[in-house]
Structure 1
Amino acid sequence: GSTPTARKIARALLEDEGRPLVPLIAETGGINAMIVDSTALPEQVVADVLTSSFRSAGQRCSALRLLLLQEEIAENVIEMLRGAMELLVIGDPGDPRTDVGPVIDQAAYERLMGYREGCKGKWLKTVPVPATGLFVPPTLIRLDSVDDLTQEWFGPILHVATWPAGQLGETIDRVNAKGFGLTMGLHSRIARSGEVAEARAKVGNLYINRSMIGAVVGSQPFGGEGLSGTGPKAGGPHYLHRFCVERSVSVDTTSAGGNATLLSLDEGGI
């Protein structure tokens, strides 16, 4: 669910004085960013961006919300992305040919459309959708800065901004500063860049040179940190422990008074 939903559940658990204190595991959303440097393969970047942003109409907690392109390649990648968006098939999600289906309900539709209209002057690309149904047009929005995006928009809306060469670490830090920490992507053919991302990205799941969605919980532990969740990760080795109660028992064996028979006596002999 969302971060506000997790907070509401946590408050309800704490304020119910008739209920024992119970642990809460929350996996919420995020302002998930993909950072692309000048060594990345543009065709692969575009394919992974489309999948990460618009599959399931952007209604995945792991979906890409903020694309950060190195300045030197930004316009070329944006132009390729705009062309690729024209090929998106909008329609019935039950049809295997469909790329983007409708959003979940009327409230989500109105919220997304309202935000989208408010950003109309910053549109880089939008895609026509069917006249009927809760279809939000896949939309690419230009931002002046990483800092312009302050909340998650749970739908097929992708924001794009740029970052200067030589500032990968600083760019990751600016994403971290938003407080969310669910997923992050990096496209780079420089091994050291991957190491920097691994060391500095405060996210639960980092994806390098691939799309950012599709984690299978049974084989890849999934979950975030900060505003994106409490941990431990679903499907991870520590998940079950949160539902368990640890107990300790201390026994003073000298209290038997040195009687070896009492020490070895089982319950049935009492």
Structure 2
Amino acid sequence: MKFQFDINADLQKLGVEQENYGICTGTKWKKPTGNFVESFSPSDGKLIGGVFQASPADFHEVIQTAKTAFETWRMIPAPKRGEIVRKIGLELRKYKKPLGRLVSYEMGKILQEGLGEVQEMIDICDFAVGQSRQLYGFTMHSEREKHRMYDQYHPLGIVGVVSAFNFPVAVWAWNAMIALVCGDVVVWKPSSKVDLCAVAVHKIIANVLKENNVPEGVVNLVAADSNQFGDEFFSNRNIPLISFTGSTKVGKKIGRLVGERLGKAILELGGNNAIIITKNANPEMALRAVVFGAVGTCGQRCTSTRRIIVHQSIFETFKEKLVAVYKQLAIGHALDPQTLVGPLVDKKAVQNYLNAIQRVEEAGGKMILKGEVLTGDGFESGCFVRPSIVEVENHFSIVQEETFAPLLYMIKYTELDEAIRLHNAVPQGLSSAMFSTNLMETEKFLSHEGSDCGIANVNIGTSGAEIGGAFGGEKETGGGRESGSDAWKSYMRRQTNTINFSTNLPLAQGIKFEV
């Protein structure tokens, strides 16, 4: 029976209407002068609503408002800024279910993932509250008598956050909550594929900002297609830090634009994540991790499992078990509680998936389970596909790329050194994992000669990173870090201070200069 869902009750709770303004400076909404863009659910193809997009003139107006707000916000003590973030977290708790359902409905990830994404927002709020009292610098001993040295961190200014469709709200929170406690102000440009989620977030936090007299312009939303003013956003000298999540191709361009003005950039780009499964692995644990990593979010996470590198002695057995599980996967409407695999985000993503399947077959890949577009009752949107498994060689050009879809590559290995070499032999370096109960194998994987990724896991999969750790990768993944650990330092400028509390003026390195 076809699953039916009416999102209207949730939209009403969230304050999302059929026509929404794409500009917000905290509590004030403005109708932009750009085009009106409609949003359709990939689960059932129904129109959810739309957003008036910002023009370049609208964008520059928001930037000026943010600049003015920064002058006030930076001087509010960090623990008090943390108190605002704490209240934002409490407000998000009230709206977790309706916002989680909207995330699932507009983007296509299953309900548990939608709710989990909002939980990530809540968790990073909690983390940031603690961080607001731990923006530490160091004290150093000076070589000069009666001198004191220390370093400290100051707010940067405007942080421009550009988020991708696959995490409509969490990536903004990772950046915004840390930036706010650091004393920065935020301008958010969400993916135009999920603008309604961004509108809902700003509706939720508006009461907190109003009740606590947060200056207009501290938290800003600018909904717009990147083609309208993308280059202006990244080239703008008023934005000292850009945090961009998206493809490697676009990230390289952004890195160039930001670099030309010597700005700072956090680039969270493509992943080509692999799991090495040794002969000493717990096969049931590995199987569960591979399936969730490969088909969760329909393969549209930057940390999705793209490749599994399996020891030859267990290759065939593991393949049989994997195929059996894939054949039982419940594919359907994202909000159906029974669904394990929702739709791809749109028909363009579907076509990219089909193109990748064709390319890997032409390269000589052995199709173990060939994906297809699903049609019929419940699949009318045209965005549902069956996941694929294909046996390949790592050097195939398509395997070297990131396909944002449920396309899993199986690769066979003999020796551990070979597995690690294959693992690292791709341009991307985001997330990685090994399944083994052998200490020497796992320690080698985590050593200097092991995984070259920003995230390396043992006996857990490649996706599902916690906010307590710094998130990001190496090589063509961009090298940026956001969320936990000491990622907060990226949102601040570092300053070294030396204080002379004597009446003499000695120079460093014993230099003599008498006048």
Structure 1-normalised TM-score? 0.84
Match runs of 1:161-240 below 5 Å: 161-164=411-414, 167-199=415-447, 200-217=450-467, 219-231=468-480, 233-240=481-488
Distance 2:371 2:265 in 1: 40
Change (3 A) 1:245 1:97: same
Given candidates 370, 379, 382, the residue that maps to 1:126 is 370
Q: CA contact under 8 A between 2:436 and 2:459: conserved in structure 1?
A: yes
In 1, distance between residues paired with 2:461 and 2:276? 12
For residue 255 of structure 1, report the CA deviation from its aligned partner: 6.7
Contact 2:373 2:383 in 1 (8 A): no
Supply the distance in 1 between the matched residues of 2:360 and 2:255 (Cα, whole angstroms): 34
- Deviation at residue 152 of structure 1 after TM alignment: 0.8
Moved more, 67-76 or 171-180: 171-180
Q: What residue is the counterpart of 1:32 in the other structure?
A: 273
Q: Could you say what secondary structure the match of 2:302 adopts?
A: coil
Q: How far 1:226 sits from its partner (Å)?
A: 1.3
Counterpart in the other structure of 1:262: none
How far apart in 1 are the matches of 2:349 and 2:478? Answer: 22
Distance 1:154 1:186 in 2: 22
What amino acid sits opposite 2:247 in the alignment?
A: S
User: Aligned-pair distance for 1:69?
Assistant: 0.7
Structure with more relative contact order (C-alpha pairs < 8 Å, separation 6 or more): 1
Mapped to 2, the partners of 1:163 and 1:118 lie a distance apart of 23
Distance 2:372 2:249 in 1: 32
Match of 1:98 among 334, 339, 346: 339
CA contact (8 A) 1:169 1:196 kept: no
SS of 1:76's partner is helix
Q: Are residue 135 (structure 1) and residue 391 (structure 2) matched?
A: no
Structure 1: distance between partners of 2:251 and 2:372: 35
The one-letter code of the counterpart of 2:291 is L
SS in 2 for 1:72: coil
Contact 1:59 1:155 in 2 (8 A): yes
Identity between Structure 1 and Structure 2 (%):
28
SS at match of 1:103: coil
Q: Residues 47 and 246 of structure 1: is their aligned pair in 2 closer, same or farther, counting only changes over 3 Å?
A: closer
User: Which residue of 42, 50, 65 maps to 2:283?
Assistant: 42
In the TM superposition, residue 138 of structure 1 has moved relative to its aligned partner by 0.1
In the alignment, does 2:307 pair up with 1:66?
yes
Output the amino acid matched with 2:464: G
Partner SS state of residue 494, structure 2: coil
1:208-228 deviations in Å (ceiling 9; x for gaps): 1122211132x2322111111
Distance 1:160 1:205 in 2: 21
Q: Give 1:254 shift.
A: 6.4
Deviations 1:151-187 (A, max 9, x none): 11111110001000xx212321232232321111111
CA contact (8 A) 1:58 1:155 kept: yes
Give the TM-score normalised by the residue count of structure 2: 0.46
* 1:84 corresponds to 2:325: yes
Shift of 1:246: 2.3
Partner of 1:11: 256
1:249–1:213: structure 2 CA closer, same or farther, 3 Å change rule?
closer
Deviation readout 1:75-104 (Å, 9 max, x if unpaired): 111011111111101111111211111111
- Tell me, yes or no, if the aligned pair for 2:470 and 2:486 is still in contact at 8 Å: no
Alpha carbons of 1:239 and 1:117: their partners in 2 closer, same or farther (altered >3 Å)?
same
Corresponding residue number in structure 2 for 1:52: 293
202-211 or 114-123: which moved more?
114-123
Q: 1:221 to 1:14 in 2, by over 3 A?
A: closer
Q: Secondary structure at the match of 1:185?
A: strand
The 1:246–1:211 alpha-carbon spacing in structure 2 relative to 1, beyond 3 Å, is closer
Task: Measure the CA separation in 2 of the matches of 1:37 and 1:250.
Answer: 54
Unaligned runs of 5+ in 2: 1-245, 506-515
- Distance in 2 of aligned mates of 1:254 and 1:186: 58
Aligned to 1:247: 495
AA aligned to 1:156 is P
Mapped pair 1:151 → 2:401:
yes
| Matched position secondary structure for 1:90 | coil
Aligned residues: 248
Letter in 1 for 2:400: T
Any conservation in 2 of the 1:103–1:155 contact (CA below 8 Å)?
Answer: yes
Q: Distance in 1 between matches of 2:501 and 2:285?
A: 67
Distance 2:384 2:438 in 1: 39
